[in-house]
Amino acid sequence: MRQTKDYLFTQVAQVAQALANPHRLELLDLLVQTPRSVEQLATASSMSFANASQHLQRLKRAGLVAGDRRGTSIRYRLADPAVIRLWVELRGIALQQLAEVTRALDAYRPQRHAFPTVTPAELGTGLAQGTMRLLDVRPPLEYAAGHLSGAASIPLDELPARLGELPDNVLIVTYCRGPLCVYADQALDLIIASGRRGARLEEGVAEWGLAGLPLEAERAATP
């Protein structure tokens, strides 16, 4: 019985071992946003194609991701929606229990305490009353795959040239991939410098979907 129990827990440990690598966690975070090819994942994570492919194979063996072949390339996706909850819970525990994670987040997002934030409930009220506009600053691929209901898309790298599209009489609320993403902060820096009011929504599509809130896909919205 001891031997079989050890074997059982060893198999379960494969999941934990697959997660015990920062590069693989980043790949999961990217796949939470949308399925991607190895090439796209390598570019987005600043990894070589070979390294990204090796990490994806490790995640696949642990049953966390799946690959669909399309011609000569493979498109990776999360193997199950439960992986989203696993990632969000893992990240949340790390932020709650490890002070060093908070310090690292402060270093990565040095402006995260400089801007006001809104809750999902406050956002819902503001959108309904017309006092807020919601702006998704992620890449177009991620917005097309799924975005918060009512959000307009202006990717961060396009924002400097498109600031004129934003209204100046409402609160502009930005969001990106969630609390470990700096894009929304950088967008707010530009928006506030332009004389507009801005705030951040810490939640992204993962948290929004897990809360049972509405998501939309492949529909352009007007800023």
Instruction: Order across the sheet with 197-200: list the strands.
Output: 152-153, 132-136, 171-175, 197-200
Q: Among residues 221, 216, 219, 187, which one has the least CA distance to residue 201?
A: 187
Q: Are 76 and 67 in contact (CB under 8 A)?
A: yes
Tell me which of 59, 176, 181, 205 is the catalytic residue: 176
Q: Among residues 131, 125, 129, 141, which one has the least CA distance to residue 205?
A: 141
Q: Are 207 and 134 in contact (CB under 8 A)?
A: no
181 is catalytic: no
What's the residue count for the chain? 223
Q: Which residues are catalytic?
A: 176
